[in-house]
Amino acid sequence: MDPSRNKNQILSSLEEHRKRLSEKSLIELFNNDPDRGSHFSTTFGDLWIDISKQLIDSTTIDLLADLAEASKVNQFLLDMMAGNPVNWSEQKPALHTALRASRDSKILVEGINVIPSISETFEKMEDFSQCIRSGKLLGATGAPITSVVALGIGGSNLGSLMAYKALSNFSHKDIDIRFCSSIDPVELDQTLDGLDPETTIFVITSKSFNTKETLVLMENAKKWLEYSIGIEGMSKHLVGITGSREKATNLGIEETMIFDLPDWVGGRFSLSSAAGLVLMISIGPTEFFHLLSGMKEIDHKTLSEPFESNGTLLLSLIDIWNRSFLNYPTMAVVPYSSQMSYLPAYLQQLMMESLGKNIRKERHGFGNSVGSVIWGATGTEGQHAFFQFLHQGTDVIPCEMLGFSNSYDQALQGQQNSLFANLLAQTEALALGSSTEKEDLTPDRKLEGNRPSTVILAPKLTPFILGQLIALYEHRTVVSGVIWGVNPFDQWGVESGKSIAIDIELEINEISSSETMTKRNSSSEKLLEKFKIFRNI
Ligand code: F6P
C-alpha cells in the first residue's frame, strides 16, 4: 500500500476500477485465468474459502486490502481483543474473544483481569451440565431433570439454537432440549407439549433481564411449574443467565442458579459465554470447549494471516465490494446442511443488527450503501423456492454457500455427495450460465450467468469446525463495521422500538389514555381503534 493514499483516494480508485471491471463477465475472468479457482481461494483454519466466482480480479482485492489498511482494521481488532472500549456509543469493550483466550492470559477491563471470572463461570457451567448429563440434578420432587427449555430471544437465543441444531448428532440422547423465544402463546404451549414439570428446568437467558418477550415467557413457565410442583420448589427449576443478577433474583431465580453474562459481551456475540450453557448441556463440556478452541484458532488467524490468506478479511472485503461498489443490497446465505438450517437467521441478527446503521464515524465515500440484507434457507429447500430468482431474476443477488465434505455418518456419505453436487452445480450455473454446447437454447431457457457467489467448504460439521465458522462470521462482521465506519456493537434502532411498544401496550390494556397515541400519528391511532373493534368481534 502507498502510505500517502488516504481512504477517500482509495475509494475513488475502487470506483474507477469498478467501471473498468464491469465490462468483463465472470466467464471472461475464468477464461483469462485458467487457475482462477486457486488464485482466489484460501485455506483458513480447516476451511476452504473460494471467492473466485465473485466479480473481482487481483486489483480489486489489492485495492480493498488497501482500504482495510487505511481503515486501521488490525488496530481495531487488537484494541477489541485487549478490552479497550471499541463500542464507542456506549463506551464499552466488546470482549467476546476473551471468553476463548488461554486461561493464563491477562486481559484487563477497568484494571481488573477478566480471565479468572471467566474460568469461574466455565467451571460452574461444567459442574452444572455434568450434573444434568449424569442424571444427578434433581427437581423439587426428587425426580431427575431430563428436559431443558431455553427461554430467550435475539442474541440470547439464536447462537445457541443454531449451534445446538448444527451439533445435534453430538447431543446427549436422554436429555430433551427445546427452545422458545416468541411472546406468541402458541409457541410456549407447543414447546411444553409432552413435558413433565417435575423433570423440566427452564434456562432463562437475558443479558438485561428486561426483555419483554423473555419475561412474559418466564412468567408463563412459572405458572406451568406452580400448577404441578407449587411455589416452594419452583426455584429448583429456574436457571438464569444474565448480566443483571438483581433483576433475576427479584423474579425468583436463586443466586446459586445464576450464571453471569459480563457487560462486555454483546448478545449476538455471546455464544462462547454462559449463554452457551444449553449447548454445553447438550454436547457436554469437552465438545463445548472444542468449539471454543475452534473460535480461538480463528481469532488468532484473523490477527496474524496476511490479507491474501486471511479468510475473515477476504469475506468482509467481498461484502463491502458487493454492497458499496456493485450496489447489491442483499445477500443470500445458503447452507447445504439441514443441521445448519438456523444459520441464515443467526447471521441475519449478527450482521443486520451489527451493520444496519446509517450513523457512521466518518461518512467517507460509501454514500448510503452500507450493511446488507441477509436472508436465505438450506440449499435443497432454497433451490425449490427462490433459486429461480437467483438465476434469472431482474436483480443480482450474491450468494454464500456453505458445504461439508463428510456426512456425520459414513453410511450416508452418498447423500452428502449429492448435497455437494447440488451446491457446486448451482454456483457454476450462477457464475457461468447455461453451458456453451447448449447455445441454441430458447431465451426463456437461457441462463446468462455472471451472478456472484462464495463457497465455504469444511471437512465435517464438528464442534471445532463450527467454532471456526462462528468466529469467522463474528470477525467478518466487525471488520466490515470498521471499514464502513459503523459501530458493530450497539443496536439503538431496536431499543427505541422496544420502548414505543411498552407505551402502546399500556394503552391497549387501557392502563394509559389514548392521548399519547393521538399525539403520535393518525395511522397508529386508526390501527389501534381497528384492533380494539376486531378484538370484540
Ligand atoms: O433484539 C435486540 C436485543 O437487544 C438484542 O441485541 C439482544 O440479543 C436481545 O434483544 C435480547 O436481549 P436480552 O439478552 O437483554 O434479553
Query: Please, are residues 64 and 72 in contact by the beta-carbon 8 Å criterion?
Result: no
What per-residue confidence (pLDDT) applies to 508? 84
Q: Which of 262, 283, 304 is the last residue of a domain?
A: 283
278 CA → ligand 1 middle, Å: 17
What per-residue confidence (pLDDT) applies to 436? 52
Q: How many Cβ atoms are within 10 Å of 30's Cβ, its own excluded?
A: 16
Residue 16 CA to its chain's centroid (Å) = 34
Q: Is the CB of 71 under 6 A from ligand 1?
A: no
220 CA → ligand 1 middle, Å: 20
Q: Which amino acid is at 413?
A: Q
Confirm whether 367 is domain-assigned: yes
DSSP for 419-446, please give it.
HHHHHHHHHHHHHH-S-GGGTT--GGG-
**Choice from 216, 494, 495, 498 to test ligand 1 binding pocket (greatest atom count within 8 A of CB):** 494
Q: Is the CB of 371 under 6 A from ligand 1?
A: no
- In 3D space, the residue among 244, 213, 229, 231 whose CA is nearest the CA of residue 151 turns out to be 213
Q: Is the CB of 156 under 6 A from ligand 1?
A: yes
Same domain, 18 and 64: yes
- CB-based contacts of 6, cutoff 8 Å, min separation 6: 70
299 CA → ligand 1 middle, Å: 24
Name the one residue in this structure whose C-alpha cell is 480471565: 115
Closest Cα to atom 9 of ligand 1: 154
> How far apart (Å, rounded) are the C-alpha atoms in residues 256 and 127?
12
What per-residue confidence (pLDDT) applies to 425? 96
**Choice from 90, 153, 206 to test ligand 1 binding pocket (greatest atom count within 8 A of CB):** 153
- In 3D space, the residue among 15, 29, 19, 20 whose CA is nearest the CA of residue 67 turns out to be 15
Same domain, 468 and 530: no
How far, in Å, are 28, 43, 230, 376, 434 from residue 50 at the CA level?
Answer: 18, 9, 57, 19, 21
**Choice from 157, 182, 207, 210 to test ligand 1 binding pocket (greatest atom count within 8 A of CB):** 207
DSSP for 171-237, please give it.
S-TT-EEEEE--SSHHHHHHHHTT--GGGEEEEEE-SSS--HHHHHHHHHHHHHHHHHHTTGGGGGG
Q: Which of 259, 283, 307 is the last residue of a domain?
A: 283
Q: Is the CB of 208 under 6 A from ligand 1?
A: yes
Helix axes 58-70, 73-82, angle to 10 degrees: 50
Name the one residue in this structure whose C-alpha cell is 477497568: 110
Instruction: Work out which ligand 1 atom sits closest to the CA atom of 153.
Output: 11
Q: Is the CB of 243 under 6 A from ligand 1?
A: no
72 CA → ligand 1 middle, Å: 29
Same domain, 368 and 395: yes
Confirm whether 491 is domain-assigned: no
Same domain, 278 and 320: no
Instruction: Work out which ligand 1 atom sits closest to the CA atom of 242.
Output: 14
The DSSP letter of residue 45 is T
Q: 449: phi > 0 → left, psi -120 to 50 → alpha, else beta; which? A: left
182 CA → ligand 1 middle, Å: 13
Confirm whether 489 is domain-assigned: no
Q: Is the CB of 155 under 6 A from ligand 1?
A: yes
Query: Please, are residues 453 and 427 in contact by the beta-carbon 8 Å criterion?
Result: yes
207 CA → ligand 1 middle, Å: 7
- The domain of 9 spans 3-92+294-435+442-484
Q: Which amino acid is at 180?
A: C
Name the one residue in this structure whose C-alpha cell is 432454497: 382
Confirm whether 195 is domain-assigned: yes
Q: Which of 283, 318, 334 is the last residue of a domain?
A: 283
CATH number of domain containing 374 = 3.40.50.10490
Same domain, 327 and 473: yes
Closest Cα to atom 2 of ligand 1: 494
- Residue 416 C-alpha cell reads as 452428502
Confirm whether 237 is domain-assigned: yes
Q: Where are the alpha helices (DSSP H) in 305-351?
A: 311-320, 343-347
> How far apart (Å, rounded) are the C-alpha atoms in residues 444 and 410?
41
What per-residue confidence (pLDDT) applies to 518? 57
Active site residues: 353, 384, 498
> How far apart (Å, rounded) are the C-alpha atoms in residues 263 and 186?
32
Q: Is the CB of 181 under 6 A from ligand 1?
A: no
Same domain, 129 and 225: yes
What per-residue confidence (pLDDT) applies to 363? 61
Residue ranges of the chain with per-residue pLDDT less than 50: none
Instruction: Work out which ligand 1 atom sits closest to the CA atom of 494.
Output: 2
Q: Is the CB of 153 under 6 A from ligand 1?
A: yes
What per-residue confidence (pLDDT) applies to 517? 60
Q: Is the CB of 266 under 6 A from ligand 1?
A: no
Instruction: Work out which ligand 1 atom sits closest to the CA atom of 261.
Output: 14
Closest Cα to atom 6 of ligand 1: 267
Same domain, 462 and 374: yes
Instruction: Work out which ligand 1 atom sits closest to the CA atom of 353.
Output: 6
Instruction: Work out which ligand 1 atom sits closest to the CA atom of 152.
Output: 16
